[in-house]
Amino acid sequence: MKHLPEGDVAWLPEARGKAVKIIAALLPHLPETETYRVLFMRRAMSEILASQRRMLVRRGEDSDAVDDAEMARLFTQHLGRVFAWMDEQPRLTYLEVDYNAMVAHPAPQVAAIAAAVEPGLWRQREGS
């Protein structure tokens, strides 16, 4: 997935009908020739910020260059752009899932995901 911006989509045909984990920033790099159903996992901002800081430390970058309030503001803006982009895509639908609620109380979240399943999309059934 990391090479989507360079146009690496050779893996895409084998991913049809499967779940693929991809970060929000790479969604706009998906080719327009496919149809996508996205489960958008939204996490608590404090966890996102902690994850970003750990990533910066691993990269050897200054994890204190931007304070948490500014990082949260920038990330919120980024998510706004991603959701606006997804809303404009005719070949993409998405379901937003609260990751923290999923972990704490999975049943309601799983029910929402199950309700979004379209059995009619199952075209390549074994034995058919």
Indicate whether 26 belongs to any domain: yes
Indicate whether 126 belongs to any domain: no
**95 closest CA partner among 19, 34, 33:** 19
Indicate whether 48 belongs to any domain: yes
Confidence of residue 125 (pLDDT cuts 50, 70, 90): low
Pick the more confident residue, 70 or 2: 70
For residue 117, give every residue at least 6 positions away whose Cβ sits within 8 Å of its Cβ, in sequence order, or none: none
pLDDT tens digit string along 87-114? 999 999 999 999 999 999 999 888 888 8
Distance CA 44, CA 56 (A): 19
Q: Structural domain tally of the chain?
A: 1
Question: What CA–CA distances, in Å, run from 28 to 2, 50, 88, 90, 97?
Answer: 13, 25, 11, 13, 19
- Name the token pair of 89: 């895509």
Indicate whether 111 belongs to any domain: yes
Distance CA 51, CA 64 (A): 13
pLDDT tens digit string along 14-67? 888 888 999 999 999 999 988 999 999 999 999 999 988 898 889 998 888 888
Indicate whether 85 belongs to any domain: yes
pLDDT tens digit string along 63-91? 888 889 999 999 999 999 999 999 999 99
Indicate whether 127 belongs to any domain: no
Structural domain of residue 70, as residue ranges? 4-118
Q: Taking 90 as the threshold, does the pLDDT of residue 2 lie above it? A: no
Indicate whether 123 belongs to any domain: no
Indicate whether 125 belongs to any domain: no
Distance CA 59, CA 52 (A): 11
